[in-house]
Structures are given as C-alpha cells and as structure tokens.
C-alpha cells in the first residue's frame, strides 16, 4: 500500500501542526498505555515506538480527512492497517507549494 503525502495548502499545514501538537500530548501517553495493557497481542505486532508512530500517522490521516478536508489539494492519505505495525515506517511528507 502506497500512502500519499499530506498535500495541504499552507493554511492547512499550519492548522495540522497546531492541532497535531496538542493532540500528541494526549495520544502518546494513551497509545503507550494501550500498548502496555494490550499485552502479547500488541507486543507481537511490534515495538511501542512503531505502535505510537502508527497511531500518530492514523490520527494525522483522520485530521486530514475530517477537520482539514477543505484545505486538501489532492487525494487523502490512506489508513495504515493494524497488520502494518511491525513494518511501519513514518511515510509523512508535507508538500508546500505556492500556486
């Protein structure tokens, strides 16, 4: 599965950075607790770091598909399925174009 970059207008990028920075204060501790309490079911899928990255990517994709939808230039980022946690690499790339 190839994930598309977050092609947002400059105002959308600023909004994404602001909302995401506050959201990460909640997501990182919650994702860490879920990984620890999830036990072997999540531990077999990968490290806590990859799980937190996966949660971060999917939350950013959710923001782009909901709140930031009016700022999108191209297709929306795809969800990363849970089976991809073990091999997940952050594919986030931001494209800033002034046109």
Q: How far apart are CA 3 and CA 19, in angstroms?
A: 21
Residue range 21-43: mean pLDDT, rounded: 89
For residue 86, the model assigns a pLDDT of 82
Q: How far apart are CA 30 and CA 14, in angstroms?
A: 24
- Among all chains, which residue has been given the structure tokens 């990968």? 46
DSSP run (H or E) holding 40: helix 40-43
What values do phi and psi take at 24, rounded to 5? -65, -30
For residue 2, the model assigns a pLDDT of 45
The residue among 62 and 13 whose pLDDT is bigger is 62
User: Does the pLDDT at position 90 exceed 90?
Assistant: no
User: Does the pLDDT at position 97 exceed 80?
Assistant: no
* Helix, strand, coil percentages, rounded to 5, for the chain: 60, 5, 40
Instruction: Give me the percent of the chain exceeding a pLDDT of 90.
Output: 13
User: Does the pLDDT at position 95 exceed 70?
Assistant: no
The residue among 93 and 63 whose pLDDT is bigger is 63
For residue 29, the model assigns a pLDDT of 93
């Amino acid at each position: 599965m190839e994930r598309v970059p977050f092609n947002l207008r400059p105002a959308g990028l600023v909004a994404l950075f602001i909302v995401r920075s506050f959201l990460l204060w909640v997501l990182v501790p919650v994702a860490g607790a879920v990984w620890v309490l999830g036990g072997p079911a999540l531990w077999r899928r990968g490290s806590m770091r990859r799980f937190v990255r996966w949660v971060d990517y999917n939350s950013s994709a959710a923001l782009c598909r909901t709140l930031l939808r009016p700022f999108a230039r191209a297709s929306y980022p795809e969800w990363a399925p849970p089976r991809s946690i073990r091999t997940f690499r952050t594919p986030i790339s931001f494209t800033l174009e002034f046109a």
